[in-house]
Structure 1
Amino acid sequence: MLRGCSLWALLPPVYSVVTAAGLWLVYAVAVYHENVITLGAPYRKRNGTHYPPFISVAGNFPPASCIFSEVMTLAAFGGFVIAVLRYLQLRNRNIKPWLNVTSLVAFSAGCFGMTLVGNFQIFNMKMIHNVGTQMTFGLGTLFCWMQSYITLRVNLNNEGRKVAVARFLLSGAITVCIILKTYFFVMSQRTEGAQCQWSLVMFFLIFLSTFGIDFRHIRLQIVCSDRDADASQGPVTRLQTSDQL
């Protein structure tokens, strides 16, 4: 406990800060090695060098690609853990079970998409990389909207309505960034599209960090017990979450 709050509350903000720091490190390394231009510079094609600063492009060239792969793999694992904890927290709440299950499945698939983005560079395995990108952004955005609605409906500890407003605003910002990124990409405005992509990812990480508000009140228990002596199935292990009083 930390001042009456569960230590699980630290997981979402720490996850977001570490992931953001890792991505900006990838960008800094790519700029240092002159593989991409800076986010504020106009894009001009220069004989295959100085590409627009999209996240995937920055993470395409070594040594930044090594960092990018590690960051995305760890981010996928951490995001999956947050999604599972959120599912367990809401499992016995007064919402339709399919909403909770769909939210978990959507973000789990999105986390798998992160591993594809990180481990299949865009210039080498473009099709697989783009599939991972669509899974990450598409299913991640769906997760944000679903969790915003669930937050409003459940209203945990009478904080849900205030938190839901923030999450709806963040979900809207994420959606707008996706639309603008697509528009600028079609219009061949590469730098503006990259700026929208970076904004999209940062808004998404901010959204995930807000789960620290909900996780302040949960306690995670791992219960291991043996079945009756007549049974032959062996020990049983299960996860439980409960709100603190």
Structure 2
Amino acid sequence: MWWFQQGLCILPVALVLWTAATFIFAYITAVLLKHVDPLVPYISDTGTVAPERCVFGIMLDISAYLGIATMYVRYKQVQALTVEEESKLHKLNLLGLVLGWTSSFGMCIVANFQKTTLFSMHLVGAILTFGVGALYILVQTLVSLCMQPHVHGKSIFWVRLSIGVWTFASIISMFVSSVIMYSSLPGVDVAHKLHWIPGETGYIPHIISTISEWSLALSFVSFFLTYIRDFQKVTLRAEVDLQSNHLYDSPHYSITAQVNQSETSPLMAGGI
């Protein structure tokens, strides 16, 4: 059995690889078609103009669904590893699930509302994705703190804490540089500005802002890499509980064959 077939670690692996592929594909396509500048454009700018925006939207939606599944498995795993008396940990775990799903929903908004089409909705999606997503990382770091040393060691906590600091530092850098950029370009429709000339007004804050955004995205991807080892130790199964021995609505059908109430099959496991 290959390492990525162990348990459910295929979920965070698929999430990381697919999201990275989304960004890389959109960037390469947008640069080759000269829709953006090669030097560190905004991620959103690489998915703004057709045809790359069509594929970018579809791929990012799939990333959001993978994120929802990954966060749910993480929630169930923590729930199974903690006793009922640890109410603080259970509350943190539930809060993390809500924040994670909210962040994934924000990713869907970003994917389907381009900044040049409806900037206000795109901005809301970005805040939900990155802002709420950063809170998800913070909550999961606190969960890791509460779970050591009886569930895992300190190393994974320090790794997640480091990524959390990286995430919030990127957010602060992007926010400050974006404010400076917009304030230095009064009357300019920055949302529709896809090409920048070195030396022009606002160019340096723009570059700092775009680098910060890519750094923020990379920190998110890196955080989900920390789930791989944990997910190797969990398997999800589906159980079919038949309520009837037929699928007809009419009461005239009365098939007396024995109902198999114990059918189980792996939903997502290493063998699929």
TM class by smaller structure:
0.7 to 0.9
- Which of these residues, 107, 113, 118, is aligned with residue 125 of structure 1? 118
Residue 106 to residue 159, structure 1, CA distance change in 2 (3 Å): same
TM-score, normalised relative to structure 2? 0.75
SS class of match (1:218): coil
- Alpha-carbon RMSD across the aligned residues, in angstroms, is 2.8
Measure, in 2, the Cα distance between the counterparts of 1:160 and 1:239: 33
- Which of these residues, 32, 50, 58, is aligned with residue 62 of structure 1? 50
Q: Which has the higher strand share?
A: 1
Measure, in 2, the Cα distance between the counterparts of 1:70 and 1:228: 39
The 5-angstrom pairing of residues 1-245 of structure 1 reads 2=2, 6-39=6-39, 53-92=41-80, 93-94=82-83, 95=86, 96=88, 97-155=90-148, 158-188=151-181, 189-226=205-242
Residue 64 to residue 162, structure 1, CA distance change in 2 (3 Å): same
SS class of match (2:115): coil
1:127 Cα deviation from its structure 2 partner: 1.0
1:4 Cα deviation from its structure 2 partner: 11
Letter in 1 for 2:24: W
Moved over 6 A (4+): 235-241
Unmatched 5+ stretches in structure 2: 182-204, 246-260, 268-272
Residue 191 to residue 107, structure 1, CA distance change in 2 (3 Å): same
- Percent identity for Structure 1 against Structure 2: 26
SS class of match (2:120): helix
1:23 Cα deviation from its structure 2 partner: 0.7
| Structure possessing the higher radius of gyration over alpha carbons | 2
Letter in 1 for 2:34: E
Measure, in 2, the Cα distance between the counterparts of 1:102 and 1:240: 28
CA offsets, 1:191-241, max 9 Å, x none? 121011011101101101211111111121222335799xxxxx8999999
Residues matched between the structures, number: 225
